Chains A and B, each alone.
Chain A
Amino acid sequence: MLHGLWSPGAGLLLWRDGNQATLPDPYARVVESRRFRHRVDVPVRTTTGVRSEQAPALALAPGAAADLLLTPSPTHGLAGDLRYLRHAVRGVDRWVAAGRIVPDVYRAEGQWWTRWRLVGGERQRAWAAELAAAMPAVQRSQGAPSAVLDDLVTELADPIARRRLVDRGAPDRSTHPLVGSLLAQTPLDEGSHAVVRTLERWRSSLTVDEPELVLRLLEPLDEDQSDETDTAAFWRLEVCLRPEGEAPQPVPLRGADPDRLRLGVRKLGEAMAAYPRLREVPTDPQSLDLLLPTAVVVDLVGHGALALRASGVNLLLPRAWSVVAPSLRLRVSSSPAVTVEGSTVGMNELVSYDWQLALGDMVLTDLEMQRLARSKSDLVRLRGHWVQADHTVLARAARYVAEHDAGAETSLGSLLAELTSAHPPPVAVDEITATGWARSLLDPAAEPVEVPLPAGLYADLRPYQQRGLDWLATMSRLGLGAVLADDMGLGKTLQVLALLAHEVPDPVDDTVDAVESMDSSTTHGSRPAPTLLVAPMSVVGNWQREAQRFTPDLRVHVHHGATRLSGDAFAEQVARTDLVVTTYSLVARDVGLLREQAWDRIVLDEAQHIKNAATAQSRAARSIPARHRLALTGTPVENRLEELRSILDFANPRMLGSAQAFRARFAIPIEREHDETAAARLRTATAPFLLRRVKTDPAVIADLPEKFEMTVRANLTAEQASLYQAVVDEMMRQISEAEGMSRKGAVLAALTRLKQVCNHPAHFLRDGSSVLRRGQHRSGKLNLVDDVLDSVLADGEKALLFTQFREFGDLVAPYLAERFGVSVPFLHGGVSKTRRDGMVTGFAEPDGPPIMLLSLKAGGTGLNLTAANHVVHLDRWWNPAVENQATDRAFRIGQRRDVQVRKLVCVGTVEERIDAMLTGKQELADLAVGTGENWVTELSTDELRDLLRLGDDAVGE
Chain B
Amino acid sequence: MTPPQLRDFSQFGKRRPVRGGIEARSRRGAFGGTWWGRSLVESVDRLADAGRMSRGRTYARQGQVVDMHLLRGEVRAEVQGSQPSPFESVFSLRTFDDDRTAELVDAIRATPGMLAEIVSGSLPQELGPLLLPQTASELDFDCTCPDPGWPCKHVAAVALLTAEEIDERPLGILTLRGVDLDTLIAGVEREPAEVTDDLYGDHLDLPDLPTVEFRPAPDDLDPLLLRKALRETAADEREVAAGLRDLTAAYRRLAD
Contacts and interface: CB of A to CB of B under 8 A. Distances in A.
A121 B218 CA distance: 13
B250 A170 contact: yes
Contacts of A374: none
Contacts of B244: 176
Given A110-B86, A196-B67, A253-B186, A98 B213 contact: yes
B78 interface: yes
B120 A102 contact: no
B239 A175 contact: yes
Interface in B10-42: 18-23
B119 interface: yes
Interface in B220-256: 220-222, 225-226, 228-230, 232-234, 239-240, 242-244, 246-247, 249-251, 253-256
Contacts of B19: 190, 192
B144 to A, nearest CB: 11
Interface in B36-75: 65-68
Interface stretch (B97-105, B148-156, B203-211): B203-211
B182 A134 contact: no
B125 interface: no
* Among A95, A176, A183: residue with most chain B CB under 10 A: A176
A404 interface: no
B6 interface: no
Nearest to A93: B209
Given A177-B234, A192-B232, A137 B201 contact: yes
A206 interface: yes
A278 B116 contact: yes
* Among A127, A161, A178, A268: residue with most chain B CB under 10 A: A178
B239 A84 contact: no
A107 B66 CA distance: 10
Interface residues of A, number: 92
B233 A191 contact: yes
B218 A102 contact: yes
Interface string B120-145: 11100000000000000000000000
Interface in A162-193: 164-165, 168-171, 174-180, 182-183, 188, 190-193
Contact of A283 (B65, B112, B221): B112
Interface size class of B (residues with CB under 8 A): 35 or more
Given A193-B68, A203-B221, A253-B185, 18 more contacts: A1-B200, A94-B212, A96-B254, A97-B255, A99-B216, A131-B207, A165-B250, A170-B250, A171-B246, A194-B23, A201-B225, A202-B222, A205-B222, A205-B225, A258-B182, A261-B186, A272-B121, A278-B120
Contact of A265 (B181, B228, B242, B251): B181
A183 B66 contact: no
Contacts of B1: none
B232 A195 contact: yes
A100 B212 contact: yes
B169 to A, nearest CB: 11
Contacts of B185: 253, 261, 265, 288
Nearest to A203: B221
B230 A178 contact: yes
Contact of B202 (A80, A91, A191): A80
A119 B254 CA distance: 15
Nearest to B203: A80
B116 A272 contact: yes
A188 B116 contact: no
Interface of A: 1, 3, 43-45, 50, 79-81, 83-84, 87, 90-91, 94-103, 107, 110, 119, 121, 123-124, 127, 130-131, 134-140, 161, 164-165, 168-171, 174-180, 182-183, 188, 190-196, 198-199, 201-203, 205-206, 208, 253-254, 258, 261-262, 265, 268-269, 271-273, 278-283, 285, 288, 290
B115 interface: yes
A193 B85 CA distance: 16
Contact of A202 (B225, B242, B247): B225
A176 B239 contact: yes
Contacts of A179: 230, 242-243, 246-247, 250
B226 A97 contact: no
Contacts of B205: 134
Contact of B113 (A165, A169, A177, A279): A279
Contacts of B18: 192
Contacts of B112: 282-283
Contacts of B120: 268-269, 271-273, 278-279
B230 A164 contact: no
